[in-house]
């Protein structure tokens, strides 16, 4: 086990902490680029409270509103442009994962005259690895991506319909202000997709990481059990602030780097899903909910014991060496049942996706990451036809 773990984000967690926004931002700058998504934060009153806190602390602001789900490169350019024109010296993301991711790349794009797409991980020639960004403050309004406390961001180039990502030290938010009250107005379906997203962050590590990370595995199990128990309650009653808090905290822990430390896991389920949502603009978590169990069934053929261990730890399914395949299948089935129980789709047809572009999704996934044999990294690696066949099982 060999790794470097460094997460310099200060996490301020709890109900009512939104009121601290102004003070925290003021310590970092005088004029904020306030990055927001759709209108929900304006309807819920969150925007008004955030602005009041900023203004009370003497922070002026300019808004980049309208960051769409699956945030686009053009939006990043627009936001960076506003930040430069308005002379912003700090970036505040107020919204879900898309808003936070777009805000992060805007913060770096301010210091880069080229195309922000040059920063993306898959760029092979003359890649620009961002070294500098405006200080970032994240205020998530949804438990899902964990973007509030990590250095990653996912962006879609809408011209080529390719979705890629960037990870850099300068993209770690200085402050993550996580107020679970802000998620109380999130509808049940988006809540459920977020739960699937956060769980998938740790299942990717659990199933695709190297051997020999028992503590990380157990933290992953803790995240999953917490998200399942409290996620169901949050879906059932969005006003249950205790449930909102537990799910929000689980989503932060899921991708703050601890579970990933030393596991060196590729994220094949994410990469396949990205190719779906880039083309069809579905919610990322909804796509994961379809791809994840399908991928599990594919991968369990090579490593039934690992999936049987998952089945045992998450669902208490007993297993011995001689029934690993059955235990694995039962665990995956139970996981799929859980996803359906909270309202997630598990078939492509449910989100309006047919079989026309299966080859294209495979090709797009492999564009972002592939090994020497041209396969998508994971345990096991997937060829283009493996990806197509896996998606075909959940049409």
Binding residues vs its own copies (CB under 8 A): 1-17, 212, 214-215, 218-219, 221-223, 225-226, 229-230, 242, 245-246, 249-250, 253, 258, 261-262
Q: Which is nearer to its own copies, 88 or 253 (CB)?
A: 253
Within 13 Å of residue 329, how many CA atoms lie on the same side as its CB?
5
Q: What are phi and psi of 277, to 5 degrees?
A: -70, -20
CA 123, 357, 160 angle in degrees (round to 5)? 35
**Minimum gap (Å) between residue 131 Cβ and its own copies:** 16
Q: Which is nearer to its own copies, 164 or 200 (CB)?
A: 200
Cα distance between residue 112 and residue 358, in whole Å: 36
**Minimum gap (Å) between residue 180 Cβ and its own copies:** 8
The CB density around residue 131, as the number of other CB atoms within 10 Å, is 11
Cα distance between residue 80 and residue 387, in whole Å: 36
Q: Which is nearer to its own copies, 221 or 278 (CB)?
A: 221
**Closest of 355, 373, 374 to residue 363, by C-alpha:** 374
CA 110 remoteness from chain centre: 23
**Minimum gap (Å) between residue 133 Cβ and its own copies:** 18
**Closest of 132, 133, 146, 129 to residue 103, by C-alpha:** 133
Q: Which is nearer to its own copies, 117 or 230 (CB)?
A: 230
The CB density around residue 233, as the number of other CB atoms within 10 Å, is 15
**Minimum gap (Å) between residue 261 Cβ and its own copies:** 8
Which residues pair with residue 72 across a beta bridge? 156
**Minimum gap (Å) between residue 170 Cβ and its own copies:** 15
Q: Which is nearer to its own copies, 243 or 291 (CB)?
A: 243
Q: Which is nearer to its own copies, 229 or 355 (CB)?
A: 229
| Residue 379 · residue 208 · CB < 8 Å | yes
Q: Which is nearer to its own copies, 17 or 161 (CB)?
A: 17
Within 13 Å of residue 103, how many CA atoms lie on the same side as its CB?
35
Burial pattern 132-160, b for ≥16 Cβ within 10 A else e, equals ebbbbbbbbbbbbbbbbbbbbbbbbbbee
| Residue 17 · residue 49 · CB < 8 Å | no
**Minimum gap (Å) between residue 82 Cβ and its own copies:** 30
**Minimum gap (Å) between residue 100 Cβ and its own copies:** 18
**Minimum gap (Å) between residue 3 Cβ and its own copies:** 5
Q: Which is nearer to its own copies, 250 or 282 (CB)?
A: 250
């Amino acid at each position: 086990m060999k790794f470097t773990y460094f997460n310099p984000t200060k996490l301020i967690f709890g109900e009512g902490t939104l009121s601290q926004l102004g003070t925290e931002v003021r310590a970092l700058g005088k004029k904020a680029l306030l990055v927001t998504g759709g209108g929900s934060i304006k309807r819920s009153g969150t925007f008004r409270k955030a602005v009041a806190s900023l203004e009370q602390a003497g922070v002026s602001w300019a808004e980049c509103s309208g960051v769409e789900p699956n945030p686009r490169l053009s939006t990043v350019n627009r936001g960076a442009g506003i930040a430069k024109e308005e002379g912003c010296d700090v970036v505040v993301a107020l919204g879900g994962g898309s808003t936070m991711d777009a805000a992060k790349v805007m913060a770096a794009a301010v210091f880069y005259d080229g195309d922000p797409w040059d920063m993306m991980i898959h760029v092979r020639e003359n890649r620009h690895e961002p070294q500098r960004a405006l200080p970032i403050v994240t205020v998530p309004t949804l438990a899902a991506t964990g973007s509030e406390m990590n250095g990653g961001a996912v962006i879609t180039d809408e011209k080529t319909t390719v979705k890629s990502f960037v990870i850099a030290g300068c993209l770690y938010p200085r402050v993550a202000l996580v107020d679970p009250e802000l998620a109380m107005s999130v509808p049940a379906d988006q809540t459920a997709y977020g739960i699937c997203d956060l769980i998938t962050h740790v299942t990717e590590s659990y199933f695709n990481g190297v051997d020999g990370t028992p503590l990380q595995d157990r933290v992953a199990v803790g995240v999953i059990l917490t998200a399942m128990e409290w996620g169901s309650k949050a879906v059932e009653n969005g006003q249950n602030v205790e449930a909102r808090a537990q799910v929000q905290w689980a989503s932060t822990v899921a991708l703050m780097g601890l579970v990933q430390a030393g596991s060196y896991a590729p994220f094949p389920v994410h990469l396949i899903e990205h190719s779906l949502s880039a083309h069809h603009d579905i919610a990322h978590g909804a796509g994961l909910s379809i791809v994840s169990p399908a991928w599990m069934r594919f991968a369990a053929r090579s490593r039934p014991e690992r999936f049987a261990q998952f089945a045992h730890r998450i669902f208490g399914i007993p297993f011995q060496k001689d029934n690993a395949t059955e235990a694995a299948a039962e665990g995956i089935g139970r996981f799929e049942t859980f996803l359906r129980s909270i309202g997630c789709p598990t078939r492509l047809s449910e989100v309006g996706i047919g079989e026309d572009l299966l080859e294209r999704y495979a090709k797009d996934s492999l564009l972002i990451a592939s090994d020497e044999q041209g396969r998508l990294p994971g345990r096991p690696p997937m060829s283009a036809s493996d990806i197509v066949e896996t998606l075909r099982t959940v049409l």
